[in-house]
Structures are given as C-alpha cells and as structure tokens.
Amino acid sequence: TEHLQKLGHRTHSEDEHQRSSRTHPKKLRLLRTLDMAKFPKPPPFVRPAATFENEEDAASQPGWGVDHGEASLPHPEEMRAQVDEKQGQSKKKKTSCVLAVILVLIVAITLALVFTLGEEIGDGTLTFGGSGTGGSAGDSDSEDPGSDATNTERFIDISDFVTGRGISTIGAVSNRGSPQYKAALWLAEDDPLKPFIPPTAGGDEDYALSFAQRYILTVLYYSLGGERWGENLGFMSEKNECDWNAQFRTKSGKTVPLGAGCNNDGEVVKIWTPWENGLVGTLPDEIGGLHSLTSIAMQYGNISGTLPESIGDLSNLIELGLSDNLLTGSVPASLVDMKQLQILALDDNSLTGKIFDKLSGLEKLAYVYLEDNMFDGDIGEMDATKLPNLLQLDASTNLLTGTLSPVLFDHPNLEVLDLHLNGLNSGFPSDIPNQSKLKFLTLHMNDLTGDVPSEISNLQGLSYLDLSHNRFDGEIPDSLGTLLNMEYLFIGGNQFSPGPIPGFLRDLNGLKELSLKRSDRTGKIPWWIGELDQMYLLDFDGNSLTGSIPESMGEMTDLFILLLNRNKITGTIPRNFENLKQLEVLLLDDNDLNDDINFLCEGRTNDELIDIIGADCRDSNLDAAPEVSCEDSTCCRICCNDDDPDCNNVQYLINNDPIWEKSYTRFHFQFENYMKKWP
C-alpha cells in the first residue's frame, strides 16, 4: 500500500538487500591550528613560517620554498665591485634603515586591518567579495577563492555560526577528519556557491536556516560515507541543497526523487536514499537541527552506532525509516517528543533495551515495525490505549516476555499484530471482545500455554492466524470454523489432545495455507479436503494419519507444497496427482505406501517438474524391493529407508515470516535447507 511504499524505494537493484554539551567556540585561537595544506597555496611572497618545521620541508612545496639565491655567497668579481661602492653606500645606510622601518610599520598596519576586517565577518558587517548582511550565495566571485586568508576566515565564520547556534560542538568542528570539520571545510573552500556566511545572531533568519541545513546535509553526507555512495543523489553540487536529489523509477513505473527534498518555503522536509546505496557510518547529532523534516527513509545500508538523542528534536517528523541497518544500543528517550510520528520502522537492526515506554503517548503512531532486534521487557507494559491510531505492530523476533493483554485484542484500529519468536509465556486471554478490525495475528514460536479459547472466534476479521510451535493443549476449538475470512491457518507444533483432522476446516473454503504439523492428528485424511481447491500449501507432517490418500486431493490443482511425510498412510498415490502441475514439493517418506511413483515425473515439461520429491525408495535389505519405486537420479531427490529415522529429519518449518515491505503477504517458502519462490 502507498503508505508503506513511502519508506521503501529501490533503485535499479530492486530485485536484490551522545550529544556532547554545546559550548561557545574559542574563535580564532582554535582555527590557527588548521592544517594549511588543506587550503590552496598562497602566493610566493607569503610564507607562514610556522607551517613547516624546517626549511627542507618548505623547499619541497611549490610556492613555499626559500629563495636560495638570496642566501648564497656572491662571486669574487661581484665582491670587488661591492667594495668599490661601499663608501657611497655607507652614506645612504642610515636613510635606508629609516625607510625600512617605515615600510615594516606600513605592512604591519595593513595586516592588522585585514585581520580586523576578518573578525567583522562574524558580525555580518563584511563579506569577502560581496555585500554585507543579506548577501546571497555567489556574491564572493570577485574575491580570489584561492586566497588562504579568505578560506581560513570563511572556515572561522562557519565554525562560529554552527557552534554559536548549537548545531555542532566546537570539539566536533575542530576535530580534523570529522564529518563536521569536513563539512565546514567544504563550505569554506570547495562549495561552488561560495555562500555568504550568516552571523551567529541577527541578520536574515530565513537565509541563516538555509545555510544551516546546507551544512547539516553536508555533515550527513560525510557521516554516512557519501564519497562511496552508489548514487551521489546530487549532494555536494553547485545546486541549492533543495535540489540535492535525483529521479528514480520504481518497479511500478512511478518516478520518485531520492535525496533531499524541500517544501515551498525551501525547508528540507525529507531525506530518502535508495536501498543498498552504500550508506556506511553513524547518524550525526546535527540531523536534529532539520526541524522541518517530516520523512526519513534510509533503509538497507550499514548505518551503525546509536540513534542520536537529537532525533527527538524532529518534532514534525511523520515517518522514520531506518530498517535493515546496523544500529545498536537503546532507542533514545527523546522519541516520546516526536508527537507527529505516524510510521516508525527500526526493524532488522541490533537495537536493545525497552521500547514500549518510549512509544507511550505518540497518539498519531499508526505503523510500528520493530522486528529482528533485541528489544526486551514485558509486553504487558505496553499501554495500547495510548496509541489510539495504531494499525500495525510488528515486534517479532526480539526478547520480549510476559503476558498477552486483552487490551491488544480490544484495540479499535489494530489490524496487524505480529509477536512471533519472542519469550511470551502466558496463556491466551479468554476475555476477547467481538471485533472485526484485527486481520493478521501471529504468535508462533513463543512459550504460550493452556487452551486456545473458543472466544478466539470473536476476532471475526482474522484472515491470518499462526499459533504454531507453542505449548497449547486441550482441544482445537471448533469455533475457528466461524472465521470465514481465514486464508492462512497454522496451529501445529502444539500439545493438543489427539484427534482427527477438524471437520470445521471444510467450512473455511477460502483457505490457501493450512499446517497441522505435529499436532497429534489421527484417523484418515477426509475426502472433503479436496474441496479446499484454493489451497497451495497443505502440511500434515508428523502426525499419525492412517488410510489412503483420497483421490479428491488430485483436484487441488493450485497445490505448491504438500507434506504428508512421517505418518502411517498406506496404499498408492492417486493417478490424478499428475494433474498437480504447480507442485514443487511433495514429501511422502516415512509412511507405509507401496507404489511406483515415477509417473509423477513423466511427461512433464521442465517448468512442470516437481523440484523435491521424498519417498521410501531405498531399502536396507539390498535383496528386497523398496516400498516405493522412484528413480532417485531422475525423479526422487530424497530416497529414504523406511527403517531409518534419521533420513529426511529436517523439520520443514514452513511458517511465513511476514515483513511489512511485502505488505505481510507470502513471497517465498523457506525450509531449513530449501527456499522456494512464490509464485
């Protein structure tokens, strides 16, 4: 859906995956330690002696060398001529000395004026090559951009501006090699616009904000390894920072600008980067200075470190997408200040600590994706009543514990609740209200116990239910048969009381996936199972089913995966199984079948071949025929000995691990050892 796609833009690779205390700057004293080699070389007559430790180093630099002719001894003939002139020159010596002193004074006064004027830049009274306060980018064209004095003073003023306004710390800007240092240096020296540097206070505030966001975007570029991005996105160009973006075409054909984007007032409101664009590094504190930001989408990268506390300063942010990166540590408490937040996607990182208390009170929050992290805490501590607009919550594959609260099932808007693969250790609440909003509920691979209450049928909107691989016991409730929207039902891997395949399944004629794996099912496979003709996954693995395979199953022509292994099924394979042209996985091993099943592989095109067939087509007694005849080189990939419990002992867990990027729809089947694409 469109609201999800906002955070998931791919490029042409679409098919592939503590803020320091802010102090006032020390002004010029700090900047005198700059590595002058970073700036263009000054004219030969300027020689800052402190730059080099010895004359040899200086001589090795073009334009910085010593005039060796001036220091060498004169030729003897020249010496004679000089002696002849000595008398006349002695009369002029005093006059020359006086003139030299005057010349030195003039030079000293001139230099003092230059530095005084340079200091006035910070007050907005003078720019190099342009007008005073209110000047625009590009006004410095009349000044030599290669002048060391110009670039140094620009760096000083940029440092004063960003530290005086609390955008960066003096320690960050003065740290050579830091993103902040590089950003200030680029703006001072290499920015093609040579923008006017606003004063720390006063002046044109709109322009000051524009300059600040240009600096912040430059810091972001260097912080995330922009020099090595797959797509530059127009960053660091001569354009206005609002045009630091590039057009990309999505899979659906829509053109989307990725990079920085602005509103009509010239304020940066979004930062979107292509997936897998080579983002490497940490998010800088400075990002909190982009106060107009409404959307961040920087997924599928290598962004590491912690989320900066300054993220909470983005009070207008609506979408925060940082999925599939390398983020660590806890989510900052300042998250509670992001009152406009509607989409939070932090999934697939290594984040830790408690999270739900930091979401409390974010009343506009609708989509929360936290899966595949290491968040801990009690799920019962989540007060869903303080998230009234919540539509989707995915906190699967974390370290959550505690009790399922009935409040989660009484939410007025919640449609998706995914808490699978955690440590939830309670029973299923029985006081479930009547509601039809919740459509997707997956709790598999927890430690849930007790009965599955019949009141689960009060969730009439359910189309997807996965309770498998817990410790539920008792009877499978017949009330599940009233959930007529059900398409995906996984309830195996529990400790239910032994019994037949539930008759209520016949009423769920919209079922597409059904798993009763290891659920103590007994008796025959009912003939009506073939009426579920929309089924593409049917899993009866690991039960005690008896009798023969009903011929009606040969009419389930959409079947993609059929697991009948590890049962007590007898007889032969219905010959109409040759009609199952979509079949990719068929497991029949560890049963009591007796048949020649090579017909399943005959007369099929390459596209129709069954990829994995498993059967008891090998016998430990070499003189005896196996139970099932199947060529292991051309038809059966898995040939087992019926007496070998270790043959094909893969669990074949085939639960869907749903993700928001695919709108919670199945896009592949994955076992421990195999993956099959769907469709």
Picking from 537, 545, 453, 460, the residue whose alpha carbon sits closest to that of residue 499 is 545
pLDDT at residue 130 in the model = 30
Q: What is the pLDDT of residues 530-573, one digit of tens each?
A: 999 999 999 999 999 999 999 999 999 999 999 999 999 999 99
Residue spans of the chain under pLDDT 50: 1-98, 101, 104, 107, 109-147, 673-679
pLDDT at residue 39 in the model = 25
8 A C-beta contact, residue 432 and residue 407: no
Pairing verdict, β 367-369 and 537-539: unpaired
Domain layout of the chain by residue ranges: 520-679
Question: What is the model's pTM?
Answer: 0.77
pLDDT at residue 46 in the model = 26
DSSP character for 65? Answer: -
Chain centroid offset of residue 459 CA: 33
Q: What is the pLDDT of residues 571-597, one digit of tens each?
A: 999 999 999 999 999 999 999 999 999
Burial (CB count within 10 angstroms: exposed 0-12, middle 13-18, buried 19+), residue 547: middle
Q: What CATH number labels 520-679?
A: 3.80.10
pLDDT at residue 634 in the model = 85
Picking from 227, 287, 295, the residue whose alpha carbon sits closest to that of residue 259 is 295
Secondary structure (3-state) at 469: coil
Distances in Å between the alpha carbon of 525 and those of 174, 500, 549? 75, 8, 7
Helices (H), 49-185: 55-59, 68-71, 76-121, 148-164, 170-174, 179-185
pLDDT at residue 74 in the model = 28
Q: Which stretches of 443-502 are assigned E, i.e. beta strand?
A: 449-450, 464-466, 471-474, 488-490, 495-496
